[in-house]
Structure formats: C-alpha cells, structure tokens
Chain A
Amino acid sequence: MIRALLLLAALALALVWSVALPWGDLSDLMREDLSLGWMVLIELRLPRALLALSYGAMLGAAGAAIQALFANPLASPDLTGTTSGAALGAVVTAYTFGLSQPVALSAGAVIGALGALALLIALAGPRAETATLLLAGLAISALAGALTTLALALAPSPFAFYDAYDWLMGSLVDRSLMQAAFAGLPALLSIVLLMRLAPALDALALGEEVALSLGHDLRAVRLRVICIGAFGVGACVAICGAIGFIGLVAPIFARRLTRGHPGRAILPAALIGAVLLIVADLAVRSAPLGRTLPIGVATALVGAPFFLWLVAHMRWRLRS
C-alpha cells in the first residue's frame, strides 16, 4: 500500500516537473505575455508530458501482459518485434500510401503490430523458451526494420528518410494535444482491458493445464493480450515512433510490488513505465548536448545494458 502511494507520488511529481520545468524561461515569458506563456504550457509542454505518461504506461502494461502470457521475463513489446511491426505499418501508411491523418497512421501501426505478434506466435509457439522467443523476435524486428527502410527508400518523397528519422528513433517533441489524445486514449483503454485479464494471467503462472482446469479460456486470453497490446502500442508508435526497453524493464520492477504475480503486475508496470518514460524525457531535455536527443536513444542507452545484465544474471542463476 505504502509502495503504491509512493509510486503514485513519484508519477505525479515527475508529471508536474515535466510540465513546469525549466520554470525560469516560462515565468519570464509569462511576465511578458501571459497568454503566450500559457500557450507554451498547454500546447507544447502538456502534450509532451501526457504522451510520455501514456506511452510509458502502455509499454509497461503491454510488457507485463506479454511476459505473463509467454511465462518469460525477457518478453516485451520491443524484443518481440511488436514496436518494429507498428513502425513499419505507420511508415507504409504514411510514405507508401501517402496517408498522414492520425487515424490512418494509427490504423496502419496497429495492423503492423498485430502482424508482428501473430508472426511471433506462429514462429515461436504460444509458450516459447527464451532463446526461441528472442530469436523469433530478433528475426521479426530485423525484417520489419529492413522493410521500413525499403518503404522509405521507395517513397515518392525524396525527404522521406530525413523526415522520418526523428520519429523512427522515438520522439515526444512538438506533438499537439490532439495527437496526445490519439495515443493516450487508446493506451488508457488498452491498459484497463489488459488489467481485466489479470486473474487469467496469474492462473497461467501455474501452467497451461492448470489454468485450463480452473476454467480459463486460454485461446481467448492469448488473442486478447495480442489484440489489445497491438492496439495500444500501435496507437502510441503511430504518434511517437518506437521506444525500446521500457516494456522490458517496468514489469520486472513492478513484480517486486506484487510478490512476483505476473497478472497483478500490469497496473504497477503501467505506473512504473510512465515514470520511467517521463524521467527519460526530462533527461534528454536537460542533457547539455546542444540539441535534443531522440528519446528512443536514451531509453536504449540505459535499457540495453540492463537487458545484458538480466541475461547474464539468468545464465548465472541457471548455472548455480
């Protein structure tokens, strides 16, 4: 209970911090022109913070659900190729078909994510071993990445690569409140729907046979996790591009709050994912590099070493 409150407090603090800071520039601006100051706050900083909140939460929740489904702590939307599939879907929609409305982009990304997850299950099977799962995910990511590059290379617009670069690396910059809603509302809905699957996902911790004997319809659960996950992650990728490792890391910390229960960890994983992404965004904003780093680069720089540590830790534990 105390930990849950601390988590909520951290989230609120990170959100306020993200909207209000740096405060100096903003207060100067407000003193000069109050309405302009408010506009910066509402139209620039608020959407960015809301996007970090909803995308981070979505990645955390989807990661927790996918890890529970595969009974594997190394599964996540990015390592299973879901985010790359969504990116491919959005790129094809935007640059091959020339549709750039948010609805079309979201639909394309969701279809891409669905395709990637369906391919993963077909390749690796419903309860794959770590190696099979990661290899299948790697293959799907590589394929989706190559097809994304191909789609950009063949795009009618000569600026497609340059244009898509920031988005592909993951970016929360210069999005409108409308765009934030296009990512945030599907994410919120998906998280609520995923949470309803928590009892079945917890029962899956006892193995498929036992979950079935307890009356859980596993085919329906599997289908729902995949469709809901693809819907939420796809909608976020369409607006902000692919951001890695949050979906891997957040559930691992979340399960420390749920005594290891995989299904119950969905909500805490969403909250932790939101905090992580907001903090990552604050970090790239305040890094003294002269220009803003794409946020996907920042999460990968911290997340990839964590992933390596996790693999080493698992190997060490298997040996001992």
Chain B
Amino acid sequence: MSALLLASNLSLPGRLDDASLALAPGTLTCLVGPNGSGKTSLLHAIAGIARASGRVAIDGVDPSREPTARRARLLGFLPASRDIQWPLVARDLVALGGATPGEITATLAALELGGVAHRRIDRLSTGERSRVLLARVLAPRPRLLLLDEPTANLDPLWQIRLMELLRDGLAATGQAALVAIHDLDAAARFADRIILMNEGRIVAEGPPAELIDGAHVRAVFGIEKAGGLWRPLRPPEDPRSSR
C-alpha cells in the first residue's frame, strides 16, 4: 500500500508534539480527542496554515511548494468556524475553491444546494451555509480532504448523509479524508481508521472496532459506554468519604 498522505514528526510549540501519520487512498480517517487535544492544530499543520516543523507529502509532493492552482487539487481544508467572512453569492464562494464550472454544479447538486446557488451566503440558513462551505472544499476534488467538524450545524439527516457521501465518494475516487469530529458514534460507524489525540499527541490509532470501546478512549475522555449510551466514568470511591 502506498500512502496518499505521509506526515512525519509534525510539531508546533505548545500545541502539537511530534505527530506522524499515513493515510491510504480511498479511506476516511476520523480524528477524535477532547477539546484542546490538538486536532485542529494537526489539520493546520498538514494544510500549511501553521508553519509546523516536520514533513508533509501528498502523493509524494510537498504541498507548500505547489502554486495555488495545483494546491487546490492536492488538499482542501474546511475550518471549524462557519462565520461569514464576506457576503458572496453561494456559487461564487464555491468557485473560489478552484473547481471547474462542471465540478461546481455537480457538487452543489450532490449537497442539494442547486436551489440556493444564486443566493447570498449571509441569507442562507446555518445548515445551508455549512453545506456551501463544504461544497467549496469538495468541488475541486482534492486528493486530501482536511475537515474540521464538518457535521457541526447540520441536522441529523444531513449529518448521516454527509458522512455517507464522504465514505462512498472517497471509495469511488481514491481521495482520502482526515475528519476531526466529536461524535464518537459517527466516527465508529463511518471511519476506516480512527486517530485519538490528547494533549497535542497522537495517543492511539486503529480501526474503530478496536479503538472506540477501548481503554484509550476511557482514559482520554473520561467516559465509557454502558447500555448503549456514553456516560462519565464514576470517580473511584474515596475511602475517607465513606466514614
């Protein structure tokens, strides 16, 4: 297996500590971890938003050395913030991602945004806006998708549809995705692999079946699954308090 993404020894002082990972083509990898565990920092380091030490190669190419037009075909990054930076028309915003008109139309149709394509982004609902921002990333079909909380602000139906769309799309095109997500159940259901982060480090990595119910998740999040629901771990009994 040749890796689509090879990231080695990525470090950002105080935020990310020597993270290395490899993603295979056609796979969906979910990045989980508590708030402040370094998920966004890892995505920033790979996307070249933060200047991390270490090396990144997508299909053997260092994206930071590529011109803008080719870079849009190598990686697409969706930030966690859905704030409107500038009130553009939805279709124009998607076009700024570097896709061809045909790709844009197809992506807008896949995300059921055809009807709002010519409306301004600030006049759309939160869910529609989130999908438009996502369409910008997906439309140019970059080899690597880096998505920070793509399902936030989406209703339950669209959360599922988006993850299905991603999983099936990746398998068909051979793209790879690294998705930071808080929903452990969605991660377990849709991911091919899971990477668990804590305090700026990758602490565990593996297929969801091994990882989600394992000791690492309990230790990092302080939760466990009981009766099909996630519950906080009960603190160990303090022997003095029973007196």
What residues make up the interface of A, taking CB atoms closer than 8 Å to B? 71, 199, 202-207, 209-210, 212-216, 259-262
Contact = CB atoms under 8 A, between A and B. Distances in A.
A207 B85 contact: yes
Given A209-B44, A209-B49, A209-B77, A214 B98 contact: yes
A215 B68 contact: yes
A203 B75 contact: no
A206 B84 CA distance: 8
Given A212-B49, A213-B49, A206 B136 contact: yes
Contact of B64 (A203, A209, A215, A259): A215
A262 B71 CA distance: 22
Given A209-B79, A213-B49, A261 B66 contact: no
B121 to A, nearest CB: 10
Contacts of B71: 214-215
A98 to B, nearest CB: 46
Interface stretch (B25-33, B53-61, B87-95, B183-191): B87-95
Given A210-B77, A213-B48, A260-B88, A205 B120 contact: no
Nearest to A205: B86
A71 B87 CA distance: 10
Interface in B128-168: 136, 146
B88 A207 contact: no
A205 B88 contact: yes
A213 B76 CA distance: 7
A273 B83 CA distance: 31
Contacts of A215: 48, 63-64, 66-68, 71
Given A207-B83, A259-B88, A262-B86, A202 B47 contact: no
B124 interface: no
Given A214-B71, A261-B92, A206 B48 contact: no
A216 B48 CA distance: 10
Contacts of B87: 260
A260 B49 contact: no
**Which of A199, A204, A210: most chain B Cβ within 10 A?**
A210
A204 B96 CA distance: 10
B179 interface: no
B92 A214 contact: no
A75 to B, nearest CB: 12
Nearest to A207: B85
A317 B79 CA distance: 26
Given A206-B96, A212-B48, 6 more contacts: A206-B86, A209-B81, A210-B79, A210-B136, A213-B47, A260-B86
B85 A199 contact: no
Give the interface residue-count category, chain B.
20 to 34
A52 B83 CA distance: 39
A216 B97 CA distance: 13
Contacts of A199: 68
A213 B74 CA distance: 11
B72 interface: yes
B131 to A, nearest CB: 15
A203 to B, nearest CB: 6
B68 A216 contact: yes
A192 to B, nearest CB: 20
Contacts of A214: 68, 71-72, 97-98
Interface string B98-124: 100000000000000000000010000
A213 B73 CA distance: 12
A206 B86 CA distance: 7
Contacts of A216: 68
B155 to A, nearest CB: 24
Nearest to B80: A209
Contacts of B83: 207
Contacts of A261: 88, 92
A155 B71 CA distance: 57
Most buried by B among A203, A207, A213, A261: A213
A208 to B, nearest CB: 8
A211 to B, nearest CB: 9
B79 A259 contact: no
13 contacts: A71-B85, A71-B86, A202-B96, A203-B96, A205-B93, A205-B96, A206-B86, A206-B136, A209-B49, A213-B47, A215-B67, A260-B87, A261-B92
